Structure 1
Amino acid sequence: MVEFRNPYHIEPPGALRQILSHPINESEAIELAVFQEHRYAFFYWNKWMRKNEGGNPPCLVSLDWHQDLCYPEDLEKEWLNELDLTSDADVSVFSWAKLAGNNDGHILCTAYLNLIGNIYVHCRQAPFPDAWKDEELMDKYGNKHIIKKFQTYEALQDALLASSETSVFFDIDLDFFSVKNGLSDGSFEFTYLQEEQIRTMLDKDNPLISWVFKRLKGFTIATEPEHCGGLLKSNKFLDLISDIYFKPDLFAPKCNWKWKPRY
């Protein structure tokens, strides 16, 4: 067993966390977490759900090149059932060492523990044609989670604006901004969305983003540099998100949303 110097302040390796005012609600604060390995989102969704004091889990809205929707197998369910969700040390180590290393199982493992509600993923890849169809997952407590996948931003927006969801974890994998992803198709060639497309998509006044921000309970960003075509490409997209939303930059002193006061 690993003995931690400070077991009450443990986070996944290399992760960064920023406390921000809520983008809309004056009386709330949220956290934003940035990490390389997408599976580390599991740690933060659990952490933020613990603060929810027994309320219904937020839905997940994820932008990702991949679907990342592999179901937990029986052995993984055994591990999840035994995991002490009150221990940041245990959950951090679990996120690093026991969740799938290819980062494709963290979403449904989180749903299995009822730490997120329904799941909405706008992605560019499906492993087979039927993978675009809606699915359901029954969690360990018998709750049903709807899993929806969208090929277009407009379809995601239409679904969310018509939904009854009241709270959201917003999740971006930076490889979403690649169009042709050469690591995934074996060509090792990449093409990308244009900067103006990304700025329009993420603008706070865009109906989808406005809807998300009104309900936001936490914001996760996976940098996944190898899936972005390299570290500098990944950093470029992270810098762009920072420029769209924050002043000063993310993790700079007194960072906050551009449209909110800085203290």
Structure 2
Amino acid sequence: MIEFRNPYHIEPPGSLRQILSHPVKENGVVELALFQEHRYAFFFWNKWIREKRMTIPPCLVSLDWHQDLCYPCETEKEWLDSLDLSSDADTSIFSWAKLNGLNDGHILAAAYLNLVGNIYVHCRQASFKEAWEDEELVDKFGNIHLIKKFKEIEELENFLLESKEEKVFFDIDLDFFVLDSGLHNGNFDFTYLKNNEIEDILNYKRPLLNWIFNRLLGFTIATEPEHCGGLLKSNQFLNMINKAYFEPELFSPNCTWKWKNK
């Protein structure tokens, strides 16, 4: 048993978070969490659900190269069933040491515990054709979670604009901006979206982003530099998000949403 100096303020290794005003609403705040390992999002989703005392979780909108939609096996379900979600120390260690190190099991682990609602993933990868089909997960409490995957940003946008979702966790893995990489094609040549394409996706005036920000309850960003072609490239993508949304820059003392400064 590990004894922590302050067990009430334990977070996954290397994580950063910042409390921001709500991007649209006059009152209220949201947190942004930044980390390298995508599975650490599990910790923050649980933290935000617990702090807001939510019984109905928000949907998850995730932009990612991978789908990250591996179902928890029976052993993992047993671990999840026994996890003390009220303990930051326990959930931090669980996110680090027990969630799959391939960073592909955190979303459905969270859904199994009803920490996220329906799941909408815009991604570039599917291991087989059927992986693009809609799915459902029944969580430990009997709730049904819809799982939808989208190949194009317009498909995700059109669906969500017509949906009845009221609250959102927004999640970006920076390798989303990679078209293909040496990790996926075997020749170690990375290709990327053009900067103007990335700016168009991130544009807060885009109907999809406006829809998300109006419903935002938390924002997670995974940097995963090894899947971006290196630390510098990952930082370049992060800087594009920073320039699109924040002024002064993210994690500066007076950081706020760029449009709120105007």
TM-score grouping bracket, smaller chain normalisation: over 0.9
- In the TM superposition, residue 125 of structure 1 has moved relative to its aligned partner by 0.3
Residue aligning to 2:8: 8
TM-superposition CA deviations, 1:190-240 (whole Å, max 9, x none): 111111111111111100000000000000000000000000000000011
Residue aligning to 2:130: 130
Superposition map of 1:221-260 within 5 A:
221-260=221-260
Look up the SS of the partner of 1:200 in the other structure. helix
Residue aligning to 1:37: 37
The structure 1 segments of at least 4 consecutive aligned residues displaced by more than 6 Å after TM superposition are none
Residue aligning to 1:170: 170
Residue aligning to 2:118: 118
- In the TM superposition, residue 55 of structure 1 has moved relative to its aligned partner by 3.2
Could you tell me which runs of 5 or more consecutive residues in structure 1 were left unpaired when the two chains were aligned: none
Look up the SS of the partner of 1:46 in the other structure. helix
Superposition map of 1:50-69 within 5 A:
50-69=50-69
- In the TM superposition, residue 261 of structure 1 has moved relative to its aligned partner by 4.3
Look up the SS of the partner of 1:108 in the other structure. helix
Residue aligning to 2:193: 193
Amino acid in structure 1 at the alignment position of 2:55: G
Cα distance in structure 1, aligned partners of 2:122 and 2:186: 22
Cα distance in structure 2, aligned partners of 1:141 and 1:36: 31
Amino acid in structure 2 at the alignment position of 1:52: K
- In the TM superposition, residue 180 of structure 1 has moved relative to its aligned partner by 1.2
Amino acid in structure 2 at the alignment position of 1:211: W
- In the TM superposition, residue 181 of structure 1 has moved relative to its aligned partner by 2.2
Residue aligning to 1:216: 216
Cα distance in structure 1, aligned partners of 2:8 and 2:185: 42
Cα distance in structure 2, aligned partners of 1:45 and 1:181: 29
Amino acid in structure 1 at the alignment position of 2:53: E
Could you tell me which runs of 5 or more consecutive residues in structure 2 were left unpaired when the two chains were aligned: none
Aligned residues: 262
| TM-score (normalised: structure 1) | 0.98
Cα distance in structure 1, aligned partners of 2:7 and 2:175: 33
Look up the SS of the partner of 1:251 in the other structure. coil
Look up the SS of the partner of 2:260 in the other structure. coil
Amino acid in structure 2 at the alignment position of 1:123: C
Cα distance in structure 1, aligned partners of 2:165 and 2:231: 35
Query: Is the Cα–Cα contact under 8 Å of residues 247 and 261 in structure 2 kept in the other structure?
Result: no
Residue aligning to 2:95: 95
Look up the SS of the partner of 2:259 in the other structure. coil
Cα distance in structure 2, aligned partners of 1:33 and 1:50: 16
Residue aligning to 1:150: 150
Cα distance in structure 1, aligned partners of 2:142 and 2:204: 36
Look up the SS of the partner of 2:7 in the other structure. coil
Cα distance in structure 2, aligned partners of 1:109 and 1:193: 30
Cα RMSD for the two superposed structures: 1.0
Cα distance in structure 2, aligned partners of 1:86 and 1:187: 45
Q: Does 1:28 align with 2:28?
A: yes
TM-superposition CA deviations, 1:42-93 (whole Å, max 9, x none): 0000001112323310000000000000000000000000000000000000
Look up the SS of the partner of 1:149 in the other structure. strand
Cα distance in structure 2, aligned partners of 1:151 and 1:47: 30
Give the percent of matched residue pairs that are identical in Structure 1 and Structure 2: 67
TM-superposition CA deviations, 1:168-207 (whole Å, max 9, x none): 0000000000001221232211111111111111111100
